[in-house]
Chain A
């Protein structure tokens, strides 16, 4: 275990549904990230939070809404998604954004029907 826990592991949702992905880290890190991994494509950074403040939004559509209530928890709220949003969504953390290596969770495999 990496110390980063994501729930749920799998999610199937319709285009009109609203759902949330949850990430929790037990490592005492101050930076948290959301990445998207589509089949056969590189990981794409979506959002970066440092000490609960969003420091990066990589031109992500507004149907993805992140929330970071504290340094240990990160959410990704989903609404009105498209089938092309189906992917593995990975949460990661690091001591600070400039520390280097990332600790990833196991991801949520999302399917949008």
Chain B
């Protein structure tokens, strides 16, 4: 079955630096890959979606890449701010599963002032 691995360790970076989070998957490539942000005690909030035929997607300070050869997606936050501190989840959408997203366990990001 499909498995997802995200950075298991929490990521601590200094304000202003670029945070890079990794999402690796096994087996076959998804039709879409999504990234969500989750704050403590809250539900995940959708950030970006990238399709299998797209290499890169940007939204303001966020950038997502998708490499189907490496079976990997990278999520970048440039000019990071303490308000970016949260857990970031990647999710695979195989495209034919009727809404069944497969989520990773998340990476906790902490941005220090």
Contact = CB atoms under 8 A, between A and B. Distances in A.
B45 interface: yes
Interface residues of A, number: 30
Interface in A13-46: 31, 33, 40-43, 45
Contacts of A98: 95, 98-99
Contacts of A63: none
A58 B102 CA distance: 12
A67 B30 CA distance: 30
B59 to A, nearest CB: 13
A112 B4 CA distance: 29
Contacts of B95: 98
Contact of B105 (A4, A31, A41, A55): A41
A66 interface: no
Nearest to A105: B43
Interface string B72-106: 00000000000000000101010100111111111
Contacts of B34: 100-101
Contact of A106 (B4, B41, B101, B104): B41
B62 interface: no
Interface string A41-69: 11101001010000110100000000000
B45 A104 contact: yes
